[in-house]
Amino acid sequence: MIHFNQPPFAPKAFAYMQRAVEAHKICGDGEYTRLCSRWLEADTGAARALLTTSCTHALEMAALLCDIHPGDEVILPSFTFCSTADAFVMRGATCVFVDIRPDTMNLDETLVEQAVTPRTRAIAPVHYAGVGCEMDAILDIARRHNLYVVEDAAQAVGSRYKGRPLGTLGDFGTVSFHETKNFSMGEGGALLLRDESWIEPAEILREKGTNRSKFFRGQIDKYTWVDKGSSYLPSDLNAAYLWAQLEEAPALAAARMDSWNYYHAQLSELAARERIALPAIPAHCTHNAHMFYIKTRDLAERTALIAFLKQRGIQAVFHYVPLHSSPAGRKFGRFAGEDRFTTAESDRLVRLPLYNGLARADADAVVQGVYDFYAGR
């Protein structure tokens, strides 16, 4: 069986987790949380990276910091995970879904401005597969209309747009360390803050509305409840598991990129014959090999391909059912403009097994499976 995913793991995780236990420091904001946060800050240039219990929670924090209220509107793609929408819906906002570009599956930046209304408060671009959205255009619209930008960079740790790290171009960036992502702590994520002015409000929000973070830094004598908040900090045990991978990030990232490039090279002949389409990486985007997908001709062909591969013990999977067509999406949102590509392109997309440590023989079996499927059609 070739699984679609295997959770990321680095062997030193055991030693680090043991050290956290022996130090009697498994609650939040311990040594490993500090190491992971500093790594993220060094990698992205964020004014502050705050480790969270999930990317979903980081998105919730961003929605709270944007002060989203009932009646506000947020512009986002329909082709995304529900968490991008949930965070704003929880604050009473309406989702305004905008079509995607067929090449990158990202928000079509040329359609964003016509979706802006007097109620729009934020734009939430999603960097699908770790490939950057057209951030210059999106940031320009946000600046002119005085909107927040919350980047859902869940899949984009390590990715760049025109050399700039994703997740730090908008006001807020959120990343995920779920076990399906490039680096993992089981469940977890981080909120990236571009500007220093957000550090204190975000720290308070994350620590139950207290100024405990300041207290730990020795800036105040005792801590107290100062504002609204919740508990968004993960156990240091999870951070210890993550740190083992971040410490080896360049090697893990290189191996993952090698698998991605191998798929791309091996499948290019099939793409040249126009049997399938391969992912497009704009020249000014540096991706992180988060995902390898191909596109079939249509939904029926995709269903047949997934079944064919399954018979060979290969787990290939489709991705999002567009949010605007889901029960909650219909209740909490509307599609602005025409759905030219969201449904049609998501129907064609199938993701191939890709994870840290994918064996070359397994990648070969997947490639062979795809070629054999098309040879029989």
Ligand X SMILES: *Cc1c(COP(=O)(O)O)cnc(C)c1O
Write out the residues near ligand X by the rule CB under 6 A. Answer: 54-56, 80-81, 83-84, 126, 152, 154-155, 176, 178, 189
Which residues does residue 48 pair with via DSSP β-bridges, in sequence order?
A: 193
CB-wise, 61 or 316, nearer to ligand X? 61
CB-wise, 123 or 267, nearer to ligand X? 123
Q: What is the DSSP letter of 98?
A: E
Which are the contacts of 114, defined by CB distance < 8 A and separation ≥ 6?
A: 336, 337
Give the alpha-carbon dihedral of 39, 239, 180, 367, to 10 degrees.
60
DSSP-based three-state secondary structure for 126: strand
CB-wise, 239 or 267, nearer to ligand X? 239
- Minimum CB separation of residue 302 from ligand X in Å reads 20
Q: How many of the other CB atoms lie within 10 Å of CB of 254?
A: 10
CB-wise, 83 or 342, nearer to ligand X? 83
Give, to the nearest 10 degrees, the angle between helix 199-206 and helix 55-65: 120
CB-wise, 124 or 139, nearer to ligand X? 124
The dihedral of CA 247, 162, 188, 179: what is its sign? negative
- Minimum CB separation of residue 54 from ligand X in Å reads 3
- Minimum CB separation of residue 123 from ligand X in Å reads 15
Structure tokens belonging to residue 328 = 């909650």
- Minimum CB separation of residue 35 from ligand X in Å reads 19
Cβ-contact 132, 161 below 8 angstroms: yes
Cα–Cα distance, 197 to 45 (Å, whole number)? 15
DSSP-based three-state secondary structure for 103: coil
Structure tokens belonging to residue 359 = 């064996």
Cα–Cα distance, 195 to 163 (Å, whole number)? 19
- Minimum CB separation of residue 80 from ligand X in Å reads 5
- Minimum CB separation of residue 365 from ligand X in Å reads 26
- Minimum CB separation of residue 237 from ligand X in Å reads 17
Q: In what order do the strands lie in the sheet with 120-123?
A: 48-52, 189-193, 172-176, 148-152, 120-123, 73-77, 94-98, 333-335
Structure tokens belonging to residue 293 = 């997908």
- Minimum CB separation of residue 28 from ligand X in Å reads 16
Query: Which residue is associated with the tokens 């204190």?
Result: 200
CB-wise, 33 or 176, nearer to ligand X? 176
CB-wise, 126 or 242, nearer to ligand X? 126
Structure tokens belonging to residue 108 = 């079509």
- Minimum CB separation of residue 307 from ligand X in Å reads 25
- Minimum CB separation of residue 290 from ligand X in Å reads 8
CB-wise, 125 or 369, nearer to ligand X? 125
CB-wise, 154 or 306, nearer to ligand X? 154
CB-wise, 55 or 270, nearer to ligand X? 55
Supply φ then ψ for residue 333, to 5 degrees.
Answer: -150, 180
H or E, element range at 150: strand 148-152
